[in-house]
Amino acid sequence: MSDEAVVAQTGPYQVDLTEGQEYWYCRCGRSKTQPFCDGSHEGTSFEPMRFVPDHTGTFNLCGCKATDDEPYCDGTHNVL
């Protein structure tokens, strides 16, 4: 299996997150439950990213897997 991230979506995933709840962001792009990890990274060098939002709200999580502000979208998909 390739060790390059898959572009899961060429734009952000808009998701509702709850303050203090633990989430696991998919870094490999292979998860069927994007933008969250489902274990599809097995056999690659990728590991999911654990994060806990500091407030409840709607967030834009990266879909292209190239952001410099993981797990949040920073607009990198606009230059891919």
Candidates 12, 21, 3; CA nearest to 65 is 12
Q: Give the pLDDT score at 1.
A: 58
Tokens read off for 11 = 């734009």
Q: Give the pLDDT score at 2.
A: 65
Helix, strand, coil percentages, rounded to 5, for the chain: 5, 20, 70
Q: Give the pLDDT score at 54.
A: 97
pLDDT tens for the 80 residues of the chain, in order = 568 899 999 999 999 999 999 999 999 999 999 999 999 999 999 999 999 999 999 999 999 999 999 999 999 999 98
Q: Give the pLDDT score at 13.
A: 98
Q: Give the pLDDT score at 33.
A: 98
Domains in the chain: boundaries: 19-80
Please tell me what DSSP assigns to residue 72: B
Q: Give the pLDDT score at 27.
A: 97
